[in-house]
A and B are shown apart, each in its own frame.
Chain A
Amino acid sequence: DAGVIQSPRHEVTEMGQEVTLRCKPISGHNSLFWYRQTMMRGLELLIYFNNNVPIDDSGMPEDRFSAKMPNASFSTLKIQPSEPRDSAVYFCASSSPWTGASYEQYFGPGTRLTVT
Chain B
Amino acid sequence: EDQVTQSPEALRLQEGESSSLNCSYTVSGLRGLFWYRQDPGKGPEFLFTLYSAGEEKEKERLKATLTKKESFLHITAPKPEDSATYLCAARYNNNDMRFGAGTRLTVKP
Contact = CB atoms under 8 A, between A and B. Distances in A.
B97 interface: yes
A101 B34 CA distance: 12
B91 A103 contact: yes
A104 B96 contact: no
A103 B43 contact: no
Most buried by B among A4, A43, A44, A110: A43
Interface string A27-46: 00000010000000011110
Interface string A81-116: 000000000010100000001111111111000000
Contact of A105 (B46, B94, B100): B46
B65 interface: no
Contacts of A110: 41-43
Given A43-B87, A101-B31, A101-B32, A106 B99 contact: no
Contacts of A55: 95
B42 A109 contact: yes
Interface string B28-70: 0001101010000111111001010000000000000000000
B42 A33 contact: no
Given A45-B99, A48-B97, A107-B44, 9 more contacts: A4-B43, A42-B101, A43-B87, A48-B95, A55-B95, A91-B44, A101-B51, A105-B34, A109-B41
Top 7 A-B pairs, shortest CB-CB distance: A107-B43, A43-B99, A42-B101, A102-B49, A45-B97, A107-B44, A104-B46
Interface of A: 4, 33, 42-45, 48, 55-56, 91, 93, 101-110
Interface of B: 31-32, 34, 36, 41-46, 49, 51, 87, 89, 91, 94-102
18 contacts: A42-B102, A43-B99, A44-B99, A45-B98, A55-B95, A56-B95, A91-B44, A103-B32, A103-B34, A104-B34, A105-B44, A106-B46, A107-B36, A107-B45, A108-B43, A109-B41, A109-B43, A110-B43
